[in-house]
């Protein structure tokens, strides 16, 4: 793993989005729709699962390629695998007994019986939530090859 890649850029962007939430009823949060724009899905609802859309958007804004997929488990093939988590790594988790659905976010910290993840679509908002370590399918870190050639500007 390359130590020249620092998580502070993407984690700063992700933290800046904390509190973004789904809007009630038929209203749509334009920021969540913007997250969706970084995936291949043409979603126009903030109620479509958006955890992967959030991670795609954050990584793109930080100057990295992403999976461009709205599927959380698509991140299992991204970058480099990690044996142990480190601050800012991408955490891919299972959701129930499904073999296809999941959840994805950024590793915040480890507690005695849980891990904390900064992510989107956690209680319908961007926030830090606790998960069980047994839910983790993998930890991933971007590689130098994942860097975008042209810088991206935050909107």
Q: Phi, psi at residue 105, to the nearest 5°?
A: -165, -165
Please name the residue that has the structure tokens 């839910």. 135
| Homologous superfamily of the 8-145 domain (CATH) | endopeptidase domain like (from Nostoc punctiforme) (3.90.1720.10)
Q: Map out the domains of the chain as residue ranges.
A: 8-145
Q: How confident is the model at residue 137 (pLDDT cuts 50, 70, 90)?
A: very high
pLDDT of residue 69: 97
Residues 64 and 60: their CA atoms lie apart, in Å, by 5
Strands (E), the chain: 80-82, 90-94, 102-110, 115-122, 125-131, 136-141
Q: What is the pLDDT of residue 81?
A: 97
Distance CA 74, CA 53 (A): 11
Structural tokens at position 2:
């390359």
Question: What 3-state class would DSSP assign to 10?
Answer: helix
pLDDT of residue 96: 84
What is the pLDDT confidence band of residue 154, given thresholds at 50, 70 and 90?
low
Q: Is 56 exposed, middle or buried (0-12, 13-18, 19+ CB in 10 A)?
A: buried
Confidence tier at 22 by pLDDT (50, 70, 90): very high
Q: What is the pLDDT of residue 3?
A: 58
Residue 152 scores a pLDDT above 60 = no
* pTM check: above 0.85: yes
Residue 5 pLDDT > 80: no
Total Cβ atoms within 10 A of residue 26: 7
């Amino acid at each position: 793993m390359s130590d020249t890649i620092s998580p502070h850029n993407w984690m700063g962007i992700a933290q800046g989005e904390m509190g973004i939430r789904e809007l009630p009823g038929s209203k749509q949060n334009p920021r969540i729709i913007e997250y969706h724009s970084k995936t291949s899905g043409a979603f126009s609802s903030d109620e479509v699962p958006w955890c992967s859309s959030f991670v795609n958007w954050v990584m793109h804004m930080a100057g990295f390629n992403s999976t461009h997929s709205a599927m959380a488990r698509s991140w299992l093939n991204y970058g480099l695998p990690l044996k142990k988590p480190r601050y800012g790594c991408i955490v891919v988790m299972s959701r129930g007994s499904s073999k296809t659905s999941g959840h994805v976010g950024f590793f915040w910290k480890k507690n005695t019986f849980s891990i904390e993840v900064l992510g989107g679509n956690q209680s319908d908002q961007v926030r830090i939530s606790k998960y069980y370590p047994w839910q983790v399918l993998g930890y991933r870190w971007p590689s130098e090859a994942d860097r975008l050639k042209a810088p991206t500007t935050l909107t």
